[in-house]
Structure 1
């Protein structure tokens, strides 16, 4: 109502493009949170994988090869997180807190702290709109929602995600290989993050160690806002989709209202706290 630009077609297209990367990362994060795990190294992985992708292009690799590099780096880092959590029998939160520094440090060491540009390569993804309205980036993100939603709802993999998230010991006694399945959960998250890296780099045209900074907190926040409790065992992709869309709309609205970026950070934190409070009250009522 205050700024008529909010409902303009260009602004709507911009919001859909902006939430595409967050949507893919959040889709993978949904699997982890339902299973009782966290990956706070996602932002560092995005920066690392994106930079390796750009370096591959800079060295003469084809676009397809560079995309495979991004996927391999992303999946490899995510699976390493899961494997270390299982090997050391430590909370994934602590493991990924450590690997965040490792991945960021590796990226900074390789690049010398600078950024790597790809000079108008891979603009197809960011510049294509279906029917002239829907960004291709958002369509790819939506396919990611459908893929993860189908995995969770219709497959044995999905049932194991919920079983381990509800009660890890009971899942073990039921014959589920908890450790191996945790690694697979991180692998799925890595695949979603890898696709998100490709989409993000196509928009930015460059990457550096800090490219994905803060993305992990936004993804976790979107999943929690979507109704998944931080204790695990519950959640769905429709909730995550709504959480991502709400997050994007709120940030876009605050930008249009020219609200200070510092206050925007505060508002996002307050939104997450409110979501956790509502989730806590729902759990108390259901008991």
Structure 2
């Protein structure tokens, strides 16, 4: 009897934990939006549309995975859109100058990681909020890209298409699979490594983490480097899809990524967050934009809806935190 009671209590505790998580409600919202949209426009559940949605959320997903690490640790990088534009343009320029695809990919990855590491280093060096530092570097990276290209775009004409053009079982984009691998890698780092424990420790209380012997400044730079790696891989995927790049290629991606992480339940002041929530936030964002497109809603109203969604998510997170205290 005692064993049965214990098992029942464990099941109830698990059920309460699932129901209290933001991911649970996001999944319900995703299903509800999917059903309603499919009833109004059956094209929503077509294989081609599903392929398109999964491909579109793949790039944002990888960037958001890296942003999750930053937000949990109490940092921000609003230069990510500029980094995407700069790194993708340098990658395309490498190909245009005759570099092999592998070398070009390393260029894109290297530029993204270098820019992100510089953001973290400058924030540590000047003891300034990462928000302010990355606000400044946004202009620097965009300006460098515009100076190098003369304000134009760089096209690579049918190169790198093997990533975007590959589908598993003729339905699942390879880009989406790569994105899932990125989610799993960050999840493993956050949940099962010393790196992850330090992300949460610094995000919860920087001073306490320092007193506990954690090298806060060096770890902060490592968090930015991790975000840069995810952004660099996303750049390779994006170039594969677009076949061209310019300074504005990543415009707005930083806000979408931060929004997706917040929608997923990570508080804006750091210390909490998980990859399932981020995944649901990214997927919900992609599905909402896709549904609104199919329903022929004005692009201006789509922007409003995304902003409202972020505000509602912040409100829900705030209420959950108050209830838990």
Is 1:235–2:273 an aligned residue pair? yes
Per the alignment, residue 107 of structure 2 pairs with 69
Per the alignment, residue 227 of structure 2 pairs with 189
Encode CA deviations 1:105-163: one digit per residue, 9 max, x unaligned.
Answer: 00000000000000100000000001111000000000000000000000000000000
Count of aligned pairs between the two proteins: 287
C-alpha separation in 1, matches of 2:79 and 2:257: 11
Is 1:107–2:145 an aligned residue pair? yes
Per the alignment, residue 244 of structure 1 pairs with 282
Encode CA deviations 1:66-123: one digit per residue, 9 max, x unaligned.
Answer: 0000010000000000000111111100100000000000000000000000010000
Measured after TM superposition, the shift of residue 40 of structure 1 is 0.4
Runs (4+) of structure 1 moved beyond 2 Å?
A: none
C-alpha separation in 2, matches of 1:99 and 1:286: 38
Encode CA deviations 1:141-199: one digit per residue, 9 max, x unaligned.
Answer: 00000000000000000000000000000000000000000000000000000000000
Structure with greater Cα Rg:
2
RMSD: 0.4
C-alpha separation in 1, matches of 2:149 and 2:269: 38
Is 1:161–2:166 an aligned residue pair? no
Is 1:53–2:118 an aligned residue pair? no
1:254-265, aligned counterparts within 5 Å? 254-265=292-303
Per the alignment, residue 9 of structure 2 pairs with none
Measured after TM superposition, the shift of residue 21 of structure 1 is 0.1
C-alpha separation in 1, matches of 2:98 and 2:274: 41
C-alpha separation in 1, matches of 2:110 and 2:88: 11
Which SS does the other structure have where 2:111 is aligned? helix
Measured after TM superposition, the shift of residue 271 of structure 1 is 0.2
Measured after TM superposition, the shift of residue 284 of structure 1 is 1.2
Per the alignment, residue 116 of structure 2 pairs with 78
Which SS does the other structure have where 1:216 is aligned? helix
Structure 1 counterpart of 2:253, from 208, 215, 220: 215
C-alpha separation in 1, matches of 2:263 and 2:78: 17
Relative to the length of structure 1, the TM-score reads 1.00
Which SS does the other structure have where 2:40 is aligned? coil
Is 1:175–2:213 an aligned residue pair? yes
Measured after TM superposition, the shift of residue 286 of structure 1 is 1.4
C-alpha separation in 1, matches of 2:133 and 2:324: 33
Structure 2 counterpart of 1:18, from 42, 56, 62: 56
Structure 2 counterpart of 1:35, from 63, 73, 93: 73
Encode CA deviations 1:235-278: one digit per residue, 9 max, x unaligned.
Answer: 00000000000000000000001111111000000000000011
Per the alignment, residue 13 of structure 2 pairs with none
Q: Which runs of 5+ in 2 are unaligned?
A: 1-38
Encode CA deviations 1:14-44: one digit per residue, 9 max, x unaligned.
Answer: 1000000000000000000000000000000
C-alpha separation in 2, matches of 1:258 and 1:49: 33
